[in-house]
Amino acid sequence: MRPSLITCLLLSSILLLSGCAISKYKRLSCDKIVMNEGDLAPVLRPSGAMKYKTSIDVLNNHLTGLLIIKKTDSLTTRIVFVTELGMKMFDFEAQGNHMRAVYVFDPMNKPAFIDALKRNFNDLLLLNAYNHETGKCTKGNRRVFEVRNGRDKSYYTIEDPGTHAASLQENFHKHKRVSKTEYTYDKATGLYSRIRTKQYGLVKFYFELNAIPPSHD
């Protein structure tokens, strides 16, 4: 088989596969709205700290520990990850669309790693999900919100809009899925009890956050 033919076949398979992932969102009938926290329950609490037992898998590393997320004022959120050994691995501060690294443990202090962490936390904590023009669509019992930003598209699917019991966020770049986050909501605490994120591509990330009951911080 000639190399060009192999390349063609590979390319068409990739297009076919990536097309499959986004195709489920095609032919949705949507209304234009601005999505707010009533449409999709936020991850952040307005005050107090949230603690999640967390595991992060990246390349061949498996890190576990405690993720602490706290709104320090109406605009600022701190995200701190501490291992079981008490060593702080990273500390990020998010303000609006901007996230900066306050501290990253030196051996992990690599720009590509930090950028990937920032992007994933922005997405999984729904930091920039609200107040954009959104397509509000219905698919069976599910409600789907579609956010477009140039060649990027994000879809937020809520299985049962009455209880927010389970939600799914999928992000696409040029029709290719770049990440997927599954949320399990606990109506009793008003918090997501479990959040799982997969980042696809060359550097694969997997995050799993399991909530620890809230304190009064």
Partner 1 sequence: MYKFILVLLLPLTVFSQAFKAVKDTSALKQKIESMSKATNSIESDFTQEKNLSMLSEKIISKGHFAFKKDNLLRWEYSSPSKYLIVINKEKVMIKDEKKISKYDMNSNKVFKEINDIMVSSVQGTIFKSHKFKTNYFENDRFYKLELIPQDKNMKDTFKKINLYFDKSVTSVAKMEMVEASEDVTLLDFSNKKLNAPIADNLFIIK
Residues forming contacts to partner 1 in the complex (CB under 8 A) are: 49, 53, 55, 61-62, 64, 66, 68, 70, 72, 78, 80, 82, 84-88, 91, 102-103, 105-108, 215-217
The phi and psi torsions of 180 (rounded to 5 degrees) equal -140, 130
Smaller CB separation from partner 1, 105 or 130: 105
Task: Classify residue 203 by its DSSP letter.
Answer: S
Sequence length of the chain is 217
Smaller CB separation from partner 1, 91 or 186: 91
CB 106, min distance to partner 1, A: 4
CB 204, min distance to partner 1, A: 16
Smaller CB separation from partner 1, 65 or 135: 65
- List of E strands, the chain: 30-34, 49-58, 61-71, 76-83, 88-95, 98-104, 133-139, 142-149, 152-158, 166-173, 176-186, 191-199, 205-212
Smaller CB separation from partner 1, 88 or 142: 88
CB 212, min distance to partner 1, A: 8
CB 116, min distance to partner 1, A: 16
Structural contact between residues 80 and 90, judged by C-beta atoms closer than 8 angstroms: yes
Angstrom CA distances, 1 to 4, 7, 10, stand at: 8, 10, 13
CB 75, min distance to partner 1, A: 16
